[in-house]
Structure formats: C-alpha cells, structure tokens
Structure 1
C-alpha cells in the first residue's frame, strides 16, 4: 500500500505540472494551428495521463482523457482543424482533469461528478459537428458571466445596497480600483443602516485578512505545490558551497578553542550546529533510493532469461535505502553487470535445476541496507555456485597463475580470481559473456568510489556478491594522522581500531620472512609503515602508533608517527600533477588552512604487498595453526621411505587399499591405477617429502590411502599405514619439508602434517576435469 501511495503521489505531481504546460500549449496552438510540435506535445501529455490513470484504476479520469486523446489524434493527423471552439473544448477537458486530480489528492477517489456532457462535447467535436459542439451541455462560462452581471460588481453598488434599510445582509462583491484592487471574498455585510461609506469600504478590505487569520492551520499543500524540481548542477554547486562552509567552520572552531572568550565559544558552537544541520539538509536533497536503479533490473533479468532459456524471478529487499546521487550513478553499471552475470553463469536451466532437486525457477535476490556508515548491496542467486578448485585450474590453464601459486591459494582467495583481468570460465564466447572482461571493470569502478566488492559461494547452493560503498563522496569523517611532520587523512570507513605500543612492548612486533607483524589478540597482523610507503627515513625508536585498517576484506596495521583527532573533511580532487601518486584518493583543507592528502587504504595495502604477498599469507596461516595448537585433530599416521612419519587428515580418507605393483600404469608423467570403473591418480608421498630411503621389496603390494579431495578421489602411495590417532597438537613447529603445514609431536615422534591441496598440486590439471561444472564466470 505504501508503494501504491507513492506512485499515486508521483502521478499527481507530474500531472499537475503537465496540466499547467497544457494550458500554455493549447493557447499557443490556437494562435499557430499548424504547429506539429505543439500538437505532438499536447497529445503525448494527455496520452501519458490516460495510460497511468487506467493503470491506477481511475476510470473517470481515463474516460475523459481518452475522448480528448481521440480528438487530438484527429487534429494531429490533419483530419480536423484547430478552431477556437475546439480549443475551448480541450481547455474544458483540462479543467475537468485538474478537478479530478484535486479530488484524488483530497480523498483518494475521483468523486461522483458527472462528466458525460463534457465527453459528449468532445465526441461531437471529434466528429466535426461544430453546431452540436456550440450548444453548451452544462453551465458554461457565458452563463456564469450572466449570473455574475446580476450581482453588484462595484463598491458603489455595495454602498448603495447597504444604505437601504431592508437590504442589510447582501454579499459584498469584489471591489474595484477604488480599494486598490484587493480581492474580496463573498462575505455578509452586517453594518448598521446608518453606517458611513468609509465603514463599509473598510470592512470590505479587512475581510480577507481576517479570513486568512482564521484559516485552519492543518491545510495541506497540493501535490504540485509540495515538490519542486531542481537542476542537479545547482545541487552540486550548493553542495560545494556547503563544503566550503564546513571548512570555514572548522577553521573558526579551531581558532576559538585557543581563545579564552566565552562569547566567541558560544557563537562558534551555534555556528557548528547550524552548519551541521545545513550540511545534513543539503545531503538529503541529493539522496535517492536505490530503487531508482533497481527498477530497471527486472526487465534486464527477464530479457536475458528468455534469451538463455531460463526461468528467474527477482526479489528486492531494502528498496528505500538511500545513496548520494553521484554514488548511485557510479554503481548503476556495475550492478547491472553483476545481475547479468548471476543470470548467465549462476542460475541453471530449468532442466538442470529439476535434476538437482531444485525448483525449475531460479531466484535472484537484491538486498540493500545501511551498516557502519556504508551501504551494503548484495546480489544473491540460488544457482550452481562457484567451485574454487575449478577457478584455480582455469587460472593455471590460462597462464594467470602458476600451479604452485594456485595450490597455495585459500578457497576465499580462489574465488577472488573472478575479478582478475582476462579471467573467464565460460566455455564459449557469446554476446553475454566469455571474453574475460567485465568483472575486473566492476571491481575497479567500485574501488574508485572507495567501495569494496567480495564474493561468497557454496557449490550447488548459490553465490552472493557483496558490495560496500560509502553514502557520499563529498563530506566524510576521517582520522587525522601524522608521518614525517606532515598530516594525512584516513577515511574512517576503512578504520577498525587504534593501537598504541610502548617501547617495553616491542616484543609483540615480530618479523616473519622479512614482513613485520603484530600479535593482536592471538592473530598476526601484517604491518605497513607509512614512512616507508612515502619514501621517508625511519622514525626513532619509541612509542609506536598503529591504525588497524581493512582493505579488500583483509586487515593490516598502518604504522604512523602520531594519531591526532577525527574531523569531517571535504574531499577535493587532486590536481593533474599529483594524480599519478597512487597512494592518495584526494586532498582536503584543514582548519588551519593547510592542505592534507587523503590516503587510499587499498593502494597502501597493495603497495606493501599485504593483499598478495605469500609471506604474509603464510604468516596468517601459521597464526591460525598456532591458535588451534591445543585443539584435538583426527589423523591417519603413515610411514615414509626413510623412516619419517607423516599425518593425513582423517576426514579426507575414504579407504585404505593395497595394489600389486603391476597394476600401476602411466599416462604421460602421471601414475594411475584402475579403480572402481575409473582411473585413480596416484601421489607418491616419498616424492612429496623428499624421502629417499630404501625402495623396499619390489614384489610387495603398494599401500594406497584413497582420499577425497574436492569431490575427486586421489590415491596417496605411502610406505606404511601406521595408525589412526585423536591427538592434541600441543607441540608444533614451522619446520617443514613438504607437507606445508609444519610438524608436530604425535605419539612421541615428530610428524609432518600434510596439506591436501599442496600435496596434489603436482597432478595434471586434467585430473580434476571430471568434476561437475557448477558455474562459469
């Protein structure tokens, strides 16, 4: 109901504006009957009102505008000529439409007015029956004029009537120029008979003032008067002026704080409040609901699903979530691409969905909400999801990653490959997808406005793309920090917390493979020195300040010289000579008049290698392993050729097998064995761990641990199968010779822990080609 009320309100506003234009156009058209532009404009306006009134079930309004549209159609086609009588008939139609709109606005309904006479008049004019049209079907303007002429029209008439004793309560008519053209309503004059002329005249000037004073206070404005259209450029200019006002306010507040002047402090405090309210008000004028972008997406989904032979319904949540108009324009194209991508790659065909036990119709959910000073937008589908291993394999086959780099990636990092330039898993190039462009552009455009994009997926269940963007780019809260004697601004949207480390706490900062990290609540936080990124010399030893930031869903600590205060800053673009400096997102003017550069958290993280450096990623994994050091793990212990011991996670073990050596066959460089109507690829653990011991009895069967890795069975060839244990890994070490998860003491013996993904990294990517394809990107 709220949505329908909003639609009706918009219809009323636009219709009132159009009717005012119609009055003007029809009068001009009477002077220039041959103007095709004016005729077309009038016809389009009436056609629009008729179509919308039919949709909203305003049948009287639809009937009146329908017959008027028919008349205009004949005029436009040259079948009728525009005459004064035709113009009068059309103007009467405009008045009727205006009256109906007024009733709708006041009561929500069209009322019970009878417009059959007007419809008959317009029908007669359409048929060219000027004689019939000339006969007024109801009270016309001429009749009204005749009635008016029978009543007193001047002040003199009113005075003469008032002088007669038997006519005291006659209505006072409109005064003429003698009372300075003041419009007087119909009010009864109750002056005594002997009242002088001046008294009566004075009562007839004062009456409107009293009537206005006694008018009810809750009189509502009309729909046309309650809104106003403003050019966007004017709003932008106003926003710039508010930004300058905020800068001036900051300067005054800073200066007033150093003066011992109570009156000045009160004045600046008042200015601060007013400027804040003005800023908020102007910001609201620029805010628009995200539905202005979303309302075009159902058509996009419908056309694409028909083209692809799919069935997709669209659900929207949070349609009223508001963003700055500039932000909204920036995310329109990225959101459209994400929606098309979800329909094309995510949601399956009806046959595939039914075979998988899903409804034939897929669901695409668009969700928006405010959180932490940002707008969160989610595009969710219940399609096939994304298989991280398939993304790794495709990245290796396309040459985007080496096999070793792909094996080291976590599932979350693998999902991020869909945003890599030139990456696509589509099997063929179509007019919808397959060229490997689009998702990288989406990420780039969102990051340009200070946003983040992330993907979460579950194979077989669907995917969710999350986009986080700021509410506005004009005025933002920021933390002021210092490095090398200069001040910089860090947008608070990237700030998580602040940490202060005294000199005595220096042991909390460690160095792992050349990367400094800070142990924050048991987790290793990579550190980035702002001085180092700016090319400044290192600071002297002492207190360390760390701003914990989040960029691209990864946390890191920015080491700065000092942390100052938070301020609302006005974002100014960098000049051409500074745009090549990638560490900065803009500049601002501080309260003391100095310029401060605005730092880009993502650029800082990338410049320091936080988002891609393997050493930092390994440090994170080791921290997680140490945090879980005292948790119990179920493991299968196996022996290697040189007497060492390794452990496989028992959760991945399917079966323990023995195969005669002669059953092992070779495909290229890969050993396989025929197993359960298929081929089982083999991984020799001695080779993985570099265990070059004795070869053992060549006639003895081969011990194979059959494991499930991402839906594909892989056989691990080991020297011995020792035992299964439920062990507490209390003694851990980073020492590693191939298992990639370090080592631990289990049952009194050093045991190397196996990372399944790393162990199978040497297999040919074709081994995983039989994995059912779940999604393409």
Structure 2
C-alpha cells in the first residue's frame, strides 16, 4: 500500500502540473487553431493521464480522458477543425479531470458523486458524432457562433459549479499534494548545501569563541545559532536524499540481458529500495553496483544443467538488499551460485605474482577472498566482453572507498557469495570525534566509533598483551587489537607502561583500538576533499576546518586497519576462561606438518610471536632466540609429536610462547606452521593416535585433531613444565 500511495502521489503532482499547462495551451490553441505543435502536446498530456489512470484503475477518469483523447486525435489529424464549442468542451473536460484528481487525493478513488462526469462525456461524444467536414466551417465566417445554439452546451455549465465544492467544502484547510511539493534545480540544492556547510563552520567558530566569554547574551545567541544551524543542516540534507531504488531501476534489464547472453536462468529479488542515500553518493555507487551484479551472473550463478546436477533448482536467485545500520547504508548483493573457492583464488594469485606462496600460507580465508580486489586479478579463463581483463573488482573497491565506504565479500563454496557494501549517508556534514596526536588534531567519523577506554597503572601491564607480535587489549574477555596513532603517523611508539587512551573503532567486521594522546570533543564537521598530494595515503579520508580556523585531517578507519594489518578477531576467542563446571575447553588450533592439525589449551598460551629465521641461534643442541632480555628455548612441535618437521620454510617462524609453572625456568617457545583458529568446544578425547607428545585425538571443526601433551613437548626443550 505504501508503494501504491507513492505512485498515486507522483501521478497527482505530475497531472496537476500538466493540467495547468493544458489550460494555457488550450487558450492559445483557440487563438491559433492551426498550431500542430500545441495540438500534439495537448494530445500527449491527455494520453498520459488516460494511460496512468487505467493502470491505477481510476475508471471514471479513464473514460473521460479517453473520449477527450479521441476528439484531440481528430483535431491533430485534421479531421475536425477547432471551434469555440470544442474549445469550451475541452476546457470543461480539463476542469472535470482536475476535480477528479482532487477527489482521488482526498479519498483514494475517483468514485465521487459530487463530480459530474457523464454530462461532459455526453458533450464530447456529441461533438464526435457531428459530421463537421473541414471544408464547410471556414466558408461562412458568420456561421461559427451558430453551433453554440445547436450543440448541447447547457449541460456543460452545471459541471463547472460543483467542481470547486468537493475540494473546498470537504477539507478547506487541507494542503493539496501539489502545494506540498515543488521542483527545484539540482544545482541550486548543491549551492544550498555548500552554504549550509559554511554556516556550520562559522557556527563552530562562534561556539568555540563563546565558551570562555562572560557575555551571557553572546553565549545565549551562540546556543540559539547552534540549534537553528543544526535543524537547517538536517532539513537541507533531507532535500538531497533519494531512494536507492533509482539506482536499481536499470538492474532488471541488466540481469535479463546478461542472463540471456550467458544462458542462465535468474530471478532478481530486491528489498529495501526505499532506503535513502545522498544524491551525490547515488551517482558514485551506480557503476560499482552494476559491476557487482554482472560479476555475480558471470562468476557466481551456474548454468541450469550444472545447477540441477548439483542438486539445486535450475533457476538461480540474485538478491539485492539495502538497509540502514550504524549511520551507514549497507547494500548486500547475494547469489546462490557456486561460491568462491579460496584454494583456487590463492593458487591463481600465486601464479600471477600477486602474492608469494609464503604469504599465502599465512593468510586467513577472509584475506584470501580479499585478493579478488587486487589490481590485475581475474579468475576468468578467457577474455570476453564481460570479464577476463583483470579490471573490475579493484575499481569497485577503489570507487567505494573514495566516497568513504567499504566493500567486503563472504563466500561458501557450493552455496553462494555475498558482497556487502557500506556507504555513508552523506559526504557533506558528519558528526565526528576530535582527537589529538603530536600537537595536531584529527577527526574520526562517529559512525565508526564504538566506545572510549582509559587504562592506567597496573591495568596496562595486566590487560595489554602481545599476540603474534602485535599489541592486544583484553577488554571484557575479548581480544582487541591495538594500533598506535602516533606510530601510524610515523611517530614514536608509546612506552610500554604508559597510560593508554583507546578509541574503540569498528570497520565492517574488524574492530580495533586506536591509541591516542588526547580526546577533545565531538563536533559536526564539514567534509572537504583532500588534496591530490595526500590522496594516495590510505590513512586519511578528507579534511575539515575547525572552530579556530585550523585544518584537521579526517582519519580513514578502514585505511588505518588495512595499513596496520588488523584483521577480524574470531568471536570464539571472546572468553578464554572456561566457567566453573563447564566441560567446554578453549583451544588454540594449529597447523603442523603439511596440513596436519593439533590443538593446545588456550589457557597455556601466553603469547604468539613471529621471529625472523636468522634470529634462531643454538645453545648446545637446543635452538633458542633472544627474547625480552632473556633466552627463549625453542621446540619444534612437529618433531616433538612424531611428524616430519616442515616449520622451517620461509623467512619467518611462528612461535607459541608458553609460560612454565617454574618461575626460574621461564618460558618456552613452541614452533608451529601457523595458527588456524581459537575455538571453545566440548572435547571428547579418543585414544586413537596417542603417542609421545600427543595425549589422544578429537574432532575439532569437523577435522581430526591431535591433542598436544604439553608437558611432554616442553620436556624436549630441557625446561620443566
């Protein structure tokens, strides 16, 4: 019903505007009966109203305009000449159409007995029935007024009197749909947004100056200006918001043409087309969304015979969904096709030199899927007019990130792929948190802000740990990666025991803490485009002018996460302490010896570290590294549990640091291939596979996994567990 009401409202606005022009055209046509251009314009207008009213089931309106259209068709084709009775009848038709539109606006239907339609239809049909050859009317100029007496004009007169009554008497104070809307040039709106942006900047400056003022009236006026400017800014932004359905309108045709070309059967499902977005952003996302749809059809949905062989219905489903979340618009493009195979993506990336084999071995599945966004990457076997040139997905990500958005892909082989695009609501004015670092101020978009955390004293040493060589904060049982803003900007890393101010940020499914020196306040900032000299830096998304007139750079949260190498932390690592009486165990799942799996109790893991291969030294027969002003003995896990040792490949080694119970003995490092996951499961141990260094085996994440006997493994290093 909401969609129907929106269509009817647009029909009423356009019809009222056309009728106003129709009045003027008919008056001019009466003065210049031979104007074919005006006749064609009038005919098109009535034809449009007739067609739309038929579609919306307004039968009386359709019948009236149909007769009028027939008469106009004869006038346009030269079969009938324009005469005063015909002009009068057409004007009466226009007035009756206007009255019917008013009835539709009030009641939603054109069945209003107060609007007399039949008399006007009878007059029009009477004029159509008259044999009026074009030769007879021009001969005697005196005969032109005579048809007025013969033509049944009187029935037209009573139609005019009741016309205003239904609109005026029923709800005299109600504003019509025409009065409620106005057409404005887009350039004028853009200028208005720019002016509001300047007003917001001026407001920020006045607010800052009035904070320390003793002038009560100045403070009061500044607060009033703050309120008015905020309301004005919100109202102006709403004028630029348009439904994303305008971008989607051409996608059914794209899907139809491409599915025929590729021999696919595809059903397109669209949800949330009423979700609104800034007009400038709509233009920016049009091409990326079209490419993602084409990519789903080309690489995702299989031909019907392949789908049926895989047990799927022959017709695939491509769904588009848009919704608001955390101050952003999220657009999901999902298909139920063959999905993306991470192993194939990784193999192609290595083959084409995008990454090295050693880098691939250390990448998580999400990172492997992200390789499709690398420049020059393509999985197409041959170049066609649809794909295979190695351009496309990297351009999609570049264009989305250029407007402050992000794009991520999730896929399950055989089940389908979902691409999620996050877009800011607007680029003009956004709320932001202002932070300080190195004497400069930086703005962080509030849409990415989760919370602020302050850590002091002993809490720094207790809550801040090292995981795989990176600092993490154990916040309410969850591991939160930490990134130093000073270090990101090229400054010095803060001292280990120094108090930390952590801004917890979220970008897609990546959450991390940004360590800053100062936190100022929140402000509404006007986003200015960044200079071309800084466009290549992923750290910055734009610039703004602060209240004191100085420029502050806006931080790009997604860019900082990417630069710092922060990835999603598994939710299973949220609570590493098993509750009392709970039979579930938190395990660190490892890969050892060419894909073989092993697991350690997570409670026994102090840290994860990575060391360069050249840092490994020997003390007697034992391998050691210098670590934290001491010596860390190493034990190769694969060899310790009776498997071939393959952990010495590559330039880096991954080490699990285990703190022994003997304080004098210190820690021991267990060398592994890589960490796969952190899980919390109820372990049902089996004696199968029990041997030196392995207490048994269990099924973890649908894979048989060796349960490491940590005491036996540590004993091989010569250190007491």
TM interval, shorter chain, is 0.7 to 0.9
Q: For 1:277, what is the secondary structure of its paired residue? A: helix
Alpha-carbon contact 1:546-1:557 (below 8 Å) kept: yes
Q: Give yes or no for the alignment of 1:488 onto 2:488.
A: no
Alpha-carbon contact 2:591-2:676 (below 8 Å) kept: no
Q: Give yes or no for the alignment of 1:531 onto 2:546.
A: no
CA distance in 2 between counterparts of 1:636 and 1:521 reads 25
Q: For 1:329, what is the secondary structure of its paired residue? A: helix
Give TM-score, length-normalised by structure 2: 0.73
What is the CA distance between 1:565 and its match in structure 2? 0.9
CA distance in 2 between counterparts of 1:365 and 1:462 reads 11
**Larger C-alpha radius of gyration, 1 or 2?**
1
Residue matched to 1:502? 456
Instruction: Identify which of 102, 120, 128 aligns with 2:125.
Output: 120
Residue matched to 1:139? 154
What is the CA distance between 1:117 and its match in structure 2? 1.6
Q: In 2 relative to 1, CA 636–529 (structure 1 residues): closer, same or farther, beyond 3 Å?
A: closer
Alpha-carbon contact 1:93-1:118 (below 8 Å) kept: no
Aligned-CA RMSD value: 4.5
Q: Once the two structures are superposed, what CA deviation does each residue of 1:656-686 show, in whole Å capped at 9, x if it has no partner? A: xxxxxxxxxxxxxxxxxxxxxxxxxxxx963
**Any residues of structure 2 matched to 1:379-458 within 5 Å, and which?**
379-458=333-412
Residue matched to 1:372? 326
Residue matched to 1:631? 585
CA distance in 1 between counterparts of 2:64 and 2:147 reads 16
Q: Once the two structures are superposed, what CA deviation does each residue of 1:59-98 show, in whole Å capped at 9, x if it has no partner? A: 3322333344444445555666656665445434333322
CA distance in 1 between counterparts of 2:131 and 2:313 reads 54
Q: Once the two structures are superposed, what CA deviation does each residue of 1:484-508 show, in whole Å capped at 9, x if it has no partner? A: 2111111122223333343655535
Q: Once the two structures are superposed, what CA deviation does each residue of 1:541-566 show, in whole Å capped at 9, x if it has no partner? A: 84333323344643443332211111
Instruction: Identify which of 671, 674, 677 aligns with 1:736.
Output: 671
Residue matched to 2:520? 564
Residue matched to 1:671? none
What is the CA distance between 1:447 and its match in structure 2? 0.8
Instruction: Identify which of 207, 220, 229 aligns with 2:174.
Output: 220
Q: Once the two structures are superposed, what CA deviation does each residue of 1:552-591 show, in whole Å capped at 9, x if it has no partner? A: 6434433322111111111122355665655332222222
Residue matched to 1:201? none
- Range with bigger deviation, 249-258 or 219-228: 249-258
Q: In 2 relative to 1, CA 375–427 (structure 1 residues): closer, same or farther, beyond 3 Å?
A: same
Q: Once the two structures are superposed, what CA deviation does each residue of 1:308-343 show, in whole Å capped at 9, x if it has no partner? A: 333222223223222222222222222222222223
Q: In 2 relative to 1, CA 453–101 (structure 1 residues): closer, same or farther, beyond 3 Å?
A: same
Q: In 2 relative to 1, CA 228–97 (structure 1 residues): closer, same or farther, beyond 3 Å?
A: same
Give TM-score, length-normalised by structure 1: 0.68
Alpha-carbon contact 2:593-2:644 (below 8 Å) kept: no
Residue matched to 1:246? 200
Alpha-carbon contact 1:453-1:468 (below 8 Å) kept: yes
Q: In 2 relative to 1, CA 39–534 (structure 1 residues): closer, same or farther, beyond 3 Å?
A: farther
CA distance in 2 between counterparts of 1:729 and 1:483 reads 36
Q: In 2 relative to 1, CA 649–79 (structure 1 residues): closer, same or farther, beyond 3 Å?
A: farther
CA distance in 1 between counterparts of 2:309 and 2:152 reads 69
Q: Give yes or no for the alignment of 1:594 onto 2:545.
A: no
What is the CA distance between 1:476 and its match in structure 2? 0.6
Alpha-carbon contact 1:74-1:126 (below 8 Å) kept: no
Q: In 2 relative to 1, CA 281–126 (structure 1 residues): closer, same or farther, beyond 3 Å?
A: farther
Q: Give yes or no for the alignment of 1:309 onto 2:263.
A: yes
What is the CA distance between 1:34 and its match in structure 2? 5.7
Q: In 2 relative to 1, CA 572–634 (structure 1 residues): closer, same or farther, beyond 3 Å?
A: closer
Q: For 2:420, what is the secondary structure of its paired residue? A: strand
Q: For 1:735, what is the secondary structure of its paired residue? A: strand
CA distance in 1 between counterparts of 2:691 and 2:575 reads 19
Q: For 1:314, what is the secondary structure of its paired residue? A: strand
Gaps of 5+ in 1: 149-184, 187-213, 612-616, 641-645, 651-683, 692-727, 758-777
Residue matched to 2:14? 14
Q: Give yes or no for the alignment of 1:299 onto 2:248.
A: no
CA distance in 2 between counterparts of 1:404 and 1:438 reads 27
CA distance in 2 between counterparts of 1:741 and 1:433 reads 34
**Any residues of structure 2 matched to 1:181-196 within 5 Å, and which?**
none
CA distance in 2 between counterparts of 1:352 and 1:741 reads 33
What is the CA distance between 1:14 and its match in structure 2? 0.6
Alpha-carbon contact 2:30-2:84 (below 8 Å) kept: yes
Q: In 2 relative to 1, CA 270–356 (structure 1 residues): closer, same or farther, beyond 3 Å?
A: same
CA distance in 2 between counterparts of 1:486 and 1:247 reads 19
What is the CA distance between 1:430 and its match in structure 2? 2.9
Q: For 2:379, what is the secondary structure of its paired residue? A: coil
Alpha-carbon contact 1:378-1:465 (below 8 Å) kept: yes
CA distance in 1 between counterparts of 2:208 and 2:500 reads 27
Residue matched to 2:606? none
CA distance in 1 between counterparts of 2:228 and 2:236 reads 12
CA distance in 2 between counterparts of 1:394 and 1:498 reads 42
Q: For 1:499, what is the secondary structure of its paired residue? A: strand
Q: For 1:455, what is the secondary structure of its paired residue? A: strand
Q: In 2 relative to 1, CA 588–635 (structure 1 residues): closer, same or farther, beyond 3 Å?
A: closer
Alpha-carbon contact 1:67-1:122 (below 8 Å) kept: no
